[in-house]
Amino acid sequence: MNKQIKEYLKNYSNDLNIVNKLIVSAYLEFNNLKAIKNKHILELLSGNDKKEIDNFLKLIYNHSEIFSFEDVINLFEITIPSSDIVVNGAIYTPKYIRDYIINNSVNKLDINERIKIADIACGSGAFLYTVAKYLKEKTKSSLFDIYKKNIFGLDIAEYAIERTKILLTLYAITLGEDIEQFEFNLFSGNALSFDWNEKYIGFNGFDSIVGNPPYVRTKNLDNGSKSLLKNWKVANSGNPDLYIPFFEIGIKYLKENGYLGYITINTFKKSVNARELRKFLNKESLKLSILDFGSYQIFDNKMTYTCIVLIQKNISEYITYAKISPDSIKFSRKFNFTEIDYNILDDHKGWLLADENIFKNINIIENTGIPLGRKNLIKNGIATLQNSLYIFKPYKEDKKYFYMEYNNEEYKIERAICRDIIKPNKLKTSEEIEKLTEKIIFPYNVKNRFASVIDESFLESTYPYTYKYLLKHKDLLLQRDKNKDKKYKWFEFGRSQSINDYGKKLLFPYMSNKPYFVYTNDENLMFYAGYAIYGESEIELKIIEKILKSKVFWYYIEHTSKPYSSKYFALAKNYVKDFGICELTDDEKVFLLKQNSKDKIDNFLISKYGILI
């Protein structure tokens, strides 16, 4: 669908009634559907909005030759109130994903007139439409009967249920089944508390549950939903995202031998907040298949990393897993699935889903020597929660002051209140340290390497220019997400993490496409937006640097860490701490320290670890 059409509708996204009217009117006009009988659609089309409709139709005729049913679904999903995109996690699921899930869940069922299929976070009804289309093609049933007997939907947003009704009604009209009224099993409610047993007497579960569970972070949930999360055992680890309990909910309401099919976040394999989910799935030992898109982006304008999860409510001893691409789904290619026994999966640390050789290599690496996280301290950088205000690159300096710019205004800052700081996310070599080092305003007194925030009166009298600068931006500093139950001075950092960290270190980024580890012996150098590995010995850290920049380490990361686009991988502490640092003889240490050939270092370490890669 043309970008201009989407942008035009977004202007009305807070008036969903007119948006619905424009979309439906355009679809009916483009597809020459006249003399509508359905009361729901007639009511929607009523009113005095001819000018808006004519303008929208003109825009479509100018930019598009067709207006398909898939266009209707797409426009419904992108034209929701902007606040709900974050709160409800609504997103358009591509047709090829929906088709694959239906073909590998609903298609495996014995299709009869009593079959019951649900989407418990149905959004605007894309999955339910796909199910209805499938059932219509496989049976002789009318859509009236399919809607009344076979498909069920739930969503927290009332307008989503309204749109699902519109979508299913339009589909029926398109197929010539234009009747005054349909009967739907569509409900507005919170899936975290909605009880299907209360809706239907004698309810014994769904034959299949399909959908795209909402991608909402805990911090964006309303207080009611946060409280309801606690009712689901899979949501009792860390700060669970909203999609996590939808597995437990789905399995609860699924019949024995029924099928669940989701497109969802792929991080549940490793993330801390999904530990209880992994434990739950392992304990249930259901027939589970994961098709992992890895770093491929499935959704437009959405940085999410996803997988298709298919579950049959039937006991199995193993999981099947495959890494796939969008094209492999689109063109129906066969996948090479790996079978992984439940009993070898580590629910706490995270699931390593790989073939036998990779699994063996990772196991060897993690059991060689001492884990990095036990051998050395791994720390996160400082967090001011307003970096652009505290951190700067002076455009000039003299004996007493640094001179900086902020929001196109010039300021001078006392040198004595500043420290050196660097951003590991930008750092690739030790030669870049001097060029990339910046200054940070550090409103703390340091005694015996322990920092305590200075008094406001001392800041004003001792560093008057800095005080004046910070005071000018006090309102901005007060907006930071500080811990409200403690007394904070408005000018101190937003978090206290790492303000007392000193020492020789290896700096490395949050994520990378190569192993960038940079040694510095500047014990006072602070850092932000990255990590550091601390050590007492320069020789020890330089040996670790050689190991971490090797093919062995990057092989480990590629198979255990969280992938991002462009072959980037997360390097958070949780992903590097279990890498085993091999024990070395004195001669081997000398070899690593003196050797500059990457190939020779790689070959030595591959042999040392005893792995095949």
Place of tokens 């996690």: 89
For residue 219, pLDDT beyond 80? yes
Is residue 393 packed enough to be buried (19+ CB in 10 Å), middle (13-18) or exposed (0-12)? exposed
Q: What digits encode the pLDDT tens for the residues 306-335? A: 999 999 999 999 999 999 999 999 887 788
Q: Residue 62's pLDDT is what?
A: 87
Taking residues 279-296, what's their average pLDDT? 95
Taking residues 220-235, what's their average pLDDT? 92
Going by DSSP bridges, is the β-strand pair 511-512/418-422 parallel, antiparallel, or unpaired?
Answer: unpaired
Domain ranges of the chain: 354-376+535-613, 377-534
Q: Residue 290's pLDDT is what?
A: 98
For residue 86, pLDDT beyond 60? no
Q: Residue 572's pLDDT is what?
A: 94
Higher-confidence residue of 536 and 422: namely 422
Query: Using 50, 70 and 90 to split pLDDT, how confident is the model at 52?
Result: confident
Query: Using 50, 70 and 90 to split pLDDT, how confident is the model at 486?
Result: low
Taking residues 117-146, what's their average pLDDT? 96
CB 185 within 8 A of CB 153: yes
CA dihedral 37, 40, 45, 48 (to 10 degrees): 120
Q: Residue 217's pLDDT is what?
A: 86
For residue 440, pLDDT beyond 90? yes
**417 in helix, strand or coil?**
helix
Q: Residue 544's pLDDT is what?
A: 98
Least confident residue range of 77-86, 242-251, 281-290: 77-86
For residue 393, pLDDT beyond 70? yes
For residue 215, pLDDT beyond 60? yes
| Distant-in-sequence, close-in-space partners of 61: CB < 8 Å, separation ≥ 6 | none
For residue 485, pLDDT beyond 60? no
For residue 579, pLDDT beyond 90? yes
Of the chain, the percentage scoring pLDDT greater than 70 comes to: 97
The whole-model pTM stands at 0.86
Token duo for residue 610: 């005893």
Length of the chain, in residues: 613
Segments in 152-273 forming alpha helices (H): 158-174, 196-199, 223-229, 245-252
Which CA distances in Å does 135 have to 105, 142, 147, 168, 221?
13, 10, 10, 13, 35
**392 in helix, strand or coil?**
strand
